[in-house]
Structure 1
Amino acid sequence: MNGTGACIARKDKTVLLECGHPGFGAAGMELADYAELVKSLPAYHTYRITPLSLWNAAAGGMTAEQIIASLRRLARWGVPAGLEEEIGRLVTRYGRLTLHAGTADSRLVLLRADSPALLDELAGLAGLDALQLRRTGELECACPAVSRGLLKQELTRLGYPVLDYAGYREGQGLSLAWTGVGLEETGGNPGTFGLRPYQQEAVRLFYGMGGSGVVVLPCGAGKTVVGLAVIEKLQCETLILTSNTTSVEQWREELLQRTSLQSGEIGEYTGERREVRPVTLATYQMLTHRRSKEEDFVHMSLFNERNWGLIIYDEVHLLPAPVFRATADIQATRRLGLTATLIREDGREGDVFSLIGPRCYELPWRSLEKQGWIAAVECVELVVPMDSALRSRYLYAGGKEQFRLAAGNPSKAEAAAGIIAEHAGARVLVIGQYLDQLEALAACLDAPLITGKTPQRERNRLYEAFNEGALNVLVVSKVANFAVNLPDASVAIEVSGAYGSRQEEAQRLGRILRPKQGENRAYFYTLVTGDSREQEFALRRRLFLTEQGYEYAVRTAGPQEEALL
């Protein structure tokens, strides 16, 4: 107990961080290492310490003693004894179970424990019997190698994380080198290529973990380059899975521009092409395609089409459930997850942890901003009023319809036009959820619209016109949430979103994070209808960005006072 700390630690594993405390910012960054922000209110932010947050901290090298010492520094009235004990119990579980290749039989993997009592404890847990886990010694059990992924998944769910030392296949070799043509400068000579320091560290830590893990970096920080660097280090054939066709094209462009690979060595496995080559790019949508709910997934065999030495899961937070199931079967292949946030709105972060790997590297967004690698962003929530007609409809609507009415508030068009006028000459993205709203906005703003129905060729033409400055305003649906390379976009206006999706808010802000010429600043506006259910969801949407240190200035449409949240 220090009497002046910024936090109140509670026995239920929640931590309250006082927003008005002088140490608020530093304390929030420290808590983010081992806790998750779950509520953001004006007076206090609420963090929750979970088994997964502690195991990811442990994977990064933190000990229970370090976590408890951190809490003791931050907690105004001390750390409840029960909480210290719980942290110690959970953190020390990480590393007690390890998985190894079968010594005499390659069809088996061996689960080893640091004490007989731990294996005795596991024997009484429901859910492991179906995996044919069989005791073979005082400190060892055997399991069929085909159940390697399912075993890790189930043990994580039961609260017993496993360190996987069972090894990986090398995969088919691939000769790949960096090239110096048209690559960004990194402090060296023009036209030369070098990884940024944090990218080098991410690759080092992934490789040091043995071959499975997740790298967490904000949009615009060069996650794709980290993926290329891992391929270059491993020199093996690679399957790259990503979120959409636009992303496939961007990966292909990066591979051709930054490496010695030739066009014929890179395959695209999408709705338009079925190419399987030494480096193959595919979409999650393609992998999960099936003709009916009763039939098998048509293209899941891609996982076994070649002797892959590495699988890269781009935007791993979007990984569909069927791909989790396929991933459980290929645990002998190295796996790299890339993402801007580990948050999954379906709550399956534990499956990412067990099947792709633990978080092996993460760098806070604000740290990258201070180093100039991403733009400094000002976040503003603009509260837009309802007119009397909309208010009358809203009052008599049901819950879901109330949110839909508030999100589609026609007054947002005028507010968006005002923001665009305020940033005259800037490249502006107007992003929303509902097609009718976006069509009306595009007409009002006299700007082109990109949706899921827009042909890929037309999307590319509009993106190129935007990047070249021929277009200053582009209205986009959620298809632009991911993997859209618009480096000069400096203003984003979010007019509607998917309820309280923290993941979506982070991705949308990420559209404007690439470094800018001059002052290196960008602006993120989210338009929210006042006195409506949309405001409740807006609080949840910004949780992840609040955890990263972003503050939202709240303004009312029109000349009003500002407040910080």
Structure 2
Amino acid sequence: MSYRPELPLIVQSDRTILLEAQHPLFAEVRQALSGFAELIKSPEYIHTYRITPLSLWNAAAGGLTAEQVTGVLSTYSKYGVPPSIVREIAETMGRYGLIRLEKDGDHLLLTGDDVPLLAELTGYKAVSSLLEGQVNPAVWRVKPYARGLIKQELIRLGYPVQDVAGYTSGEACPVALREVTASGRPFALRPYQQEAVDAFHAAGAATGGSGVLVLPCGAGKTIIGLGAICQLQTATLILTTNTTSVRQWIAELIDKTDLDPSQIGEYTGERKEVKPITVATYQILTYRSKADDSYPHMRLFSEREWGLVIYDEVHLLPAPVFRVTSGIQATRRLGLTATLVREDGREEDVFTLIGPKKYEMPWKALEEQGWIAEARCQEIRLPFEANGREAYARANARQKFRIAAENPRKLQVVRHLLERHADDRVLIIGQYVGQLQQLAEALNLPLITGKVPEKEREALYRQFKRGEITRLAVSKVANFAVDLPDANVAIQISGTFGSRQEEAQRLGRILRPKERDNAAYFYTLVTRDTREQEFALHRQLFLVEQGYHYDVIEMDALD
């Protein structure tokens, strides 16, 4: 293909893709790439994406074809697409669905149309140990307990299994969404929320019933979970990140469904109720008194005939819960998240054991439709004072990050930003409790950390929601599933190294739609020319991938 300099993409034979960030077609191409490629670097002028087997399998599971993927690349590439990449995309996406799990009566079957391939894969010891015997050259019986295990083994060999073995119905639980909430407001699923529920359910077909829905914080993932429960009418176990989130789920269930409160159970460190709809924390499930003990609360998975398990913030799913999930593959499984990125690299296990990505709604699309606030992101770079720079120079790598993160000049910037946003509701978010305590004391702010009792936390959240307090300092305990709809300013004074998921969660705290000015302001304070600045670039990857950009300004340039 001839050289087309007016186009914004360069597709390289190592499966990386370079996109010109200043090009007029940037937003259009970024959106197209997000369906099948992962953003790995995003400096000012050139963004780098990578095509991976998992990104292509998620695309295939979502209905994209190899021809559509290569079509996008061909349409926007300056130099065309290397033939080796075209072949690799076709081969990789073609593997999805070559091997299937099906059900015949009580028997679980591994089957495939490519008999030589099936023979090769079943010849591996790790796979053959999970099989009971051969029915014919194209069909093998799988041991009843091995539905999840065999999917894990086969994806490691490069062949993701399409699981169409179906699901058990679970215990019946009649439930419907209210048209008017218990609090007296008109209620219905938004169009994209209904689309997400429908994509997961797939009209009850075996191709539905397990998968992950990716939507921004503030988009109403809890409401989508309620929609799925009402679609299936079955006993449901909901797993989430903390007790505050458990109680928010329960409040939404009571407010927006016709369930009697007696049908809803809380399973946390404080209460152990098992009801037709039960909401539990990951922490209680993974609790054990000694490191080599079993997990006593994992029995919750078998306490009722659950027809659905919802994994809230599925990107945080702990390893022990993965192991239990491997054994409940006949139960429908719904993952909810704002990002598929996991800091432990276990995205393959989410794909295999929870299910592939079934629906994704871009953040910018919801912002343009007014469903979430318009986000304005700014990175403010600060210098060290002289003694700080000297301590930084002498420190080891890990100490360098903390010294930069705790730069005392950040207090001065926070004070300035609070004056700028005198009429707004502001969250000051940090990683280090000592830093937060000093700042809260200096500015006379209420502070929530992991040491603050749950009742006291909830009281402060209530005061913030009512407008009785308009500034709140919070540690990472507020990263996840904390519903503060009126917060419209977040000031991030320190974070967890290069955590993309944390950046997404923190921005998400302020994205609920606002009644007056539908705008949210997200400030990140970073010490210039330090490891903190390096990590900040990685943290911002997720938001850049979603279409946001950061304005970078110097502390001295603040108005």
* TM-score bracket for this pair, using the shorter chain length: over 0.9
Q: Does the aligned pair in 1 maintain the 2:179–2:188 contact within 8 Å?
A: no
Following TM superposition, by how much is the alpha carbon of 1:560 offset from its aligned partner in structure 2, in angstroms? 6.6
Q: Residues of 1 paired with 2:43 and 2:19: CA distance? A: 10
Following TM superposition, by how much is the alpha carbon of 1:180 offset from its aligned partner in structure 2, in angstroms? 3.4
Following TM superposition, by how much is the alpha carbon of 1:133 offset from its aligned partner in structure 2, in angstroms? 6.1
Following TM superposition, by how much is the alpha carbon of 1:156 offset from its aligned partner in structure 2, in angstroms? 1.5
Following TM superposition, by how much is the alpha carbon of 1:3 offset from its aligned partner in structure 2, in angstroms? 3.5
Matched, 1:321 2:325: no
Alignment of 1:254-265 (within 5 A): 254-265=252-263
What is the aligned partner in structure 1 of residue 21 from structure 2?
Answer: 19
Q: Residues of 2 paired with 1:29 and 1:240: CA distance? A: 31
Alignment of 1:42-53 (within 5 A): 42-53=44-55
Alignment of 1:5-84 (within 5 A): 5-84=7-86
Q: Tell me the secondary structure at the aligned position of residue 329 of structure 2.
A: coil
Following TM superposition, by how much is the alpha carbon of 1:193 offset from its aligned partner in structure 2, in angstroms? 2.1
Q: Does the aligned pair in 1 maintain the 2:131–2:143 contact within 8 Å?
A: yes
Q: Residues of 2 paired with 1:315 and 1:41: CA distance? A: 28
What is the aligned partner in structure 2 of residue 537 from structure 1?
Answer: 535
Q: Supply the AA of the counterpart residue of 1:201.
A: E
Following TM superposition, by how much is the alpha carbon of 1:57 offset from its aligned partner in structure 2, in angstroms? 0.8
Q: Residues of 1 paired with 2:271 and 2:182: CA distance? A: 28
What is the aligned partner in structure 2 of residue 350 from structure 1?
Answer: 348
What is the aligned partner in structure 2 of residue 194 from structure 1?
Answer: 188
What is the aligned partner in structure 2 of residue 167 from structure 1?
Answer: 166
Q: Which residue, out of 445, 469, 479, partners 1:471?
A: 469
What is the aligned partner in structure 1 of residue 378 from structure 2?
Answer: 380
Following TM superposition, by how much is the alpha carbon of 1:183 offset from its aligned partner in structure 2, in angstroms? 6.8
What is the aligned partner in structure 1 of residue 227 from structure 2?
Answer: 229
What is the aligned partner in structure 2 of residue 523 from structure 1?
Answer: 521
Q: Residues of 2 paired with 1:127 and 1:529: CA distance? A: 50
Q: Does the aligned pair in 2 maintain the 1:183–1:193 contact within 8 Å?
A: no
Q: Does the aligned pair in 2 maintain the 1:174–1:237 contact within 8 Å?
A: yes
Following TM superposition, by how much is the alpha carbon of 1:203 offset from its aligned partner in structure 2, in angstroms? 0.8
What is the aligned partner in structure 1 of residue 250 from structure 2?
Answer: 252
Q: Supply the AA of the counterpart residue of 1:522.
A: A
Q: Supply the AA of the counterpart residue of 2:307.
A: G
What is the aligned partner in structure 1 of residue 177 from structure 2?
Answer: 178
Q: Supply the AA of the counterpart residue of 1:499.
A: F
Q: Residues of 2 paired with 1:263 and 1:12: CA distance? A: 56
Structure 2 unpaired stretches of 5+: none
Of 547-556 and 118-127, deviating more is 118-127
Deviation per CA, 1:325-357: give whole Å up to 9, x if none: 000000010001111111101000110000001
What is the aligned partner in structure 2 of residue 116 from structure 1?
Answer: 115
What is the aligned partner in structure 1 of residue 201 from structure 2?
Answer: 207
Following TM superposition, by how much is the alpha carbon of 1:126 offset from its aligned partner in structure 2, in angstroms? 5.3
Q: Tell me the secondary structure at the aligned position of residue 128 of structure 1.
A: helix
Give identity over the alignment, percent: 55
Q: Residues of 2 paired with 1:399 and 1:450: CA distance? A: 29
Q: Residues of 2 paired with 1:21 and 1:183: CA distance? A: 49
Q: Tell me the secondary structure at the aligned position of residue 549 of structure 1.
A: coil
Deviation per CA, 1:527-547: give whole Å up to 9, x if none: 000111101100000101100
Could you say if the C-alpha distance between residues 376 and 203 of structure 1 is closer, same or farther in structure 2, counting changes exceeding 3 Å? same
Structure 1 unpaired stretches of 5+: 185-189
Q: Does the aligned pair in 1 maintain the 2:486–2:510 contact within 8 Å?
A: yes
Following TM superposition, by how much is the alpha carbon of 1:181 offset from its aligned partner in structure 2, in angstroms? 3.7
Q: Does the aligned pair in 2 maintain the 1:381–1:555 contact within 8 Å?
A: yes
Following TM superposition, by how much is the alpha carbon of 1:124 offset from its aligned partner in structure 2, in angstroms? 4.5
Q: Tell me the secondary structure at the aligned position of residue 187 of structure 2.
A: coil
Q: Tell me the secondary structure at the aligned position of residue 402 of structure 1.
A: helix
Q: Does the aligned pair in 1 maintain the 2:98–2:113 contact within 8 Å?
A: yes
Q: Residues of 1 paired with 2:558 and 2:256: CA distance? A: 49
Q: Supply the AA of the counterpart residue of 1:451.
A: T
Q: Residues of 2 paired with 1:226 and 1:79: CA distance? A: 39
Q: Residues of 2 paired with 1:261 and 1:442: CA distance? A: 41
Deviation per CA, 1:75-100: give whole Å up to 9, x if none: 11110111110000001111111111
Q: Which residue, out of 400, 403, 419, partners 1:402?
A: 400
Q: Supply the AA of the counterpart residue of 1:394.
A: Y
Of 53-62 and 244-253, deviating more is 53-62
Could you say if the C-alpha distance between residues 558 and 211 of structure 1 is closer, same or farther in structure 2, counting changes exceeding 3 Å? same
Q: Supply the AA of the counterpart residue of 1:179.
A: R
Task: Output the aligned Cα RMSD.
Answer: 1.4
The count of corresponding residues between Structure 1 and Structure 2 is: 553
Hey, which bits of structure 1, 4+ residues long, moved more than 6 A?
A: none
Could you say if the C-alpha distance between residues 183 and 487 of structure 1 is closer, same or farther in structure 2, counting changes exceeding 3 Å? farther
Q: Does the aligned pair in 1 maintain the 2:215–2:338 contact within 8 Å?
A: yes
Q: Does the aligned pair in 2 maintain the 1:463–1:486 contact within 8 Å?
A: yes
Q: Residues of 2 paired with 1:555 and 1:131: CA distance? A: 58
Q: Residues of 1 paired with 2:365 and 2:251: CA distance? A: 28
What is the aligned partner in structure 2 of residue 187 from structure 1?
Answer: none
Q: Does the aligned pair in 1 maintain the 2:210–2:354 contact within 8 Å?
A: yes
Following TM superposition, by how much is the alpha carbon of 1:131 offset from its aligned partner in structure 2, in angstroms? 2.0
Q: Does the aligned pair in 2 maintain the 1:68–1:87 contact within 8 Å?
A: yes
Q: Supply the AA of the counterpart residue of 1:53.
A: S
Normalised to the residue count of structure 1, the TM-score between the two structures is 0.96
Following TM superposition, by how much is the alpha carbon of 1:553 offset from its aligned partner in structure 2, in angstroms? 0.1
Normalised to the residue count of structure 2, the TM-score between the two structures is 0.97
